Amino acid sequence: MKTRSLKTRWIAALSAGAMLMQLPAITPAAADTLNYGDALKLSLYFYDSNQCGTEVDDNPLTWRGNCHTYDAAAPLSAAVGLTDAEKAVIKAANGGADTVDVSGGYHDAGDHIKSTMTMGFSATSLAWSYYTNPAAFKDTGSRAHLFDILKEMCDYMMKVTYLDDSGAVVAFCYLVSNSGEHSEWLAPEKQTSARPTYWGTASHQSADTAGEMAAALASSSVALREVDADYADECLKYAKALRDFAQKYPGASYDGIGDMYSSSSQVDDIAWADLWCHVADGTISSYTPVSVNSDGSYNASTGKEYDGWIYSWGKVWGGYCTLLYSLGFDAYGSTVLNNMNRLLSNPTAGSYSIVADGWGASRYSCAWQMYCTNYAATSGESRYAENAKTQMDYLLGGNPDHRSYLLGYTDTFPSQIHHRGANPNKGNATYVLYGGLVGGPTDANGSYTDRYDSYACTEPALDYNGCFTLAISGLCTAFGAGDGSGADAVIAAASEIDETKEFGAWYDEGGQVDPPTTTDTTEPVGDAHVGDVNCDGMVKIGDVILLNRFLAEDQTVNISDQGMLNAEADGTTGINGNDATAILKIIAGLE
């Protein structure tokens, strides 16, 4: 396990450390003060909790470590769906070894299964969020963290996809482990049981997964092109290969999946992949979309498709029409509007509606909110964004129980979560799973059972957070994101997070964390701006860091006379650790 940095230990060692333990979350006074940017920034840390492989030690969570490293040598003898010829291709690519490297990626939910179906769906949702609402990530300082997550997902999906000399897909891994793993409850770092692998091929088709992987790689290439064009090109190459595979082999096999992720169709995934490939390579102007009927069904190759199910890993038609509408295909706006109003119309503040199903209802609520915010942004009818706001505010704590279903946001949130990593001993979780969206209430009455085995309520998952990011980023655009400083305060105070972690080190721009600002001591001293130690006009976590470095006698730190005056935040004369605590309270909105 990792240990926290020196900077973090300075904060933890302040004389008012007990007070810091009372500052683990954003504490808004009322629903109208909820800060969507803070929720967005915090939500990305859930992905770090579910990271798998040999690079977990490098992520920002102090309680996670490398796990399932033996996935790097998964025996081909235990691979399901591969013919001898396909195994030979993989062996040749791996230097003749009888094993295949499927390490890395992310665990699906509260278990340790890796599904490229849900990983792909979540990656697309994240990349789409950035494509539509980039300022939400930039304004809150979340872009580099997002890009790290997208790259980890893309790295994994390309690693487990094998192409022949012509660039065509030979095989790809759609599942590592299987539903039998649900009988084990232990931290991922301690799991050593055998993990079979399951593969999609021409003879063992998995077009739904191939489509989701293709959409993920294509949409991610759009985002990551901002920082690494060569890497984006590689993602798009694999995206097109997987799309072509899905179009050529449109069947599906569900070995190992059981009833977990057996999709009811593949044509939506294929259409979704093709749309994102056109967006990514700049050919959307020549794209011919799947036509839609007045009843909301689509004229797919298999006939009329669409049962009205909401955007989710198993049915992405709702996302398809929403993206098309935002791209200028106006005819699809009526389908988006129908999707919204059929599921829920005119919700009221403080109430909650189940728009699809009571199991993991929060993800469906967020998908519905995504319809609303996208429709509002494209049509200009802001009332639909207001509708989304009512449901998000409920999930973030604007409910009769004042409970946030985004873990770590506000000071009241579920404690008995269905997550083996954060809750290895069952009962109350050992670690706060910051940023995880749990399933939430199962009905409109707000019924919620806070027990680790009540997985419909208490389990988080990749697809849940993907839908959350789509919703919250849209709300950031509609109502403002802020600068993420509230989340920064939570991150600094949380023992589960090393706030010194720098994101984005893999691309040329480098890390995102800026060094604390120092000021010219010749500046005249004016009235105090309490907490603004670096005199940049704002009170943020950088002020706390700068003050703590000064208190630790860091000789490189220079605080101006004005900054020293601003640092006196606890109401007494002189600078000490109590002032740093008082500034944290200001950032958290407690003073």
* pLDDT one digit per residue (tens) for the chain, 591 residues: 564 432 332 233 222 232 223 344 565 433 445 699 999 999 999 999 999 999 999 999 999 999 999 999 999 999 999 999 999 999 999 999 999 999 999 999 999 999 999 999 999 999 999 999 999 999 999 999 999 999 999 999 999 999 999 999 999 999 999 878 878 999 999 999 999 999 999 999 999 999 999 999 999 999 999 999 999 999 999 999 999 999 999 999 888 887 678 887 899 999 999 999 999 999 999 999 998 877 777 887 777 777 678 999 999 999 999 999 999 999 999 999 999 999 999 899 999 999 999 999 999 999 999 999 999 999 999 999 999 999 999 999 999 999 999 999 999 999 999 999 999 999 999 999 999 999 999 999 999 999 999 999 999 999 999 999 999 999 999 999 999 999 999 999 999 999 999 999 999 654 343 333 333 334 455 678 898 888 867 676 556 556 765 775 544 457 888 888 889 998 888 888 778 767 866 754 546
Residue 109 tokens read as: 């939910």
Q: How far is the CA of 97 from the CAs of 74, 75, 82, 184, 316, in angstroms?
A: 10, 9, 15, 30, 38
Q: How confident is the model at residue 2, as a pLDDT?
A: 61
Q: How confident is the model at residue 391, as a pLDDT?
A: 98
Q: How confident is the model at residue 543, as a pLDDT?
A: 66
Question: What are residue 199's DSSP bridge partners?
Answer: 173
Q: How confident is the model at residue 432, as a pLDDT?
A: 98
Q: How confident is the model at residue 573, as a pLDDT?
A: 81
Of the candidates 213, 108, 236, the one whose C-alpha atom is nearest the C-alpha of residue 160 is 213
**Hey, what's the torsion of the CAs at 134, 136, 142, 147, to 10 degrees?**
-20
Alpha carbons 311 and 495: distance in angstroms, whole number? 35
Please give the helix or strand (H or E) that residue 548 lies within, else none.
helix 541-551
Pair 390, 351: CB distance under 8 Å: yes
Q: How confident is the model at residue 10, as a pLDDT?
A: 27
Among the CATH numbers 3.30.470.20, 1.50.10.10, 3.40.190.10, 3.90.1170.10, which is that of 34-482? Answer: 1.50.10.10
Alpha carbons 279 and 454: distance in angstroms, whole number? 40
Tens of pLDDT, residues 285-332: 999 999 887 777 788 777 777 767 899 999 999 999 999 999 999 999
* Per-residue DSSP letter, 260: S
Q: How confident is the model at residue 516, as a pLDDT?
A: 32
Alpha carbons 149 and 235: distance in angstroms, whole number? 14
Residue 492 tokens read as: 């600094």
Residue found under tokens 């093709």: 274
Q: How confident is the model at residue 500, as a pLDDT?
A: 96
Q: How confident is the model at residue 20, as a pLDDT?
A: 29
pTM of the model: 0.83
Q: How confident is the model at residue 529, as a pLDDT?
A: 87
- 212 Cβ contact partners less than 8 Å away, ≥ 6 residues apart: 116, 117, 120, 121, 124, 269, 272, 273, 313, 316
Q: How confident is the model at residue 70, as a pLDDT?
A: 97
Q: How confident is the model at residue 26, as a pLDDT?
A: 60
Q: How confident is the model at residue 515, as a pLDDT?
A: 31
Residue found under tokens 């208190």: 551
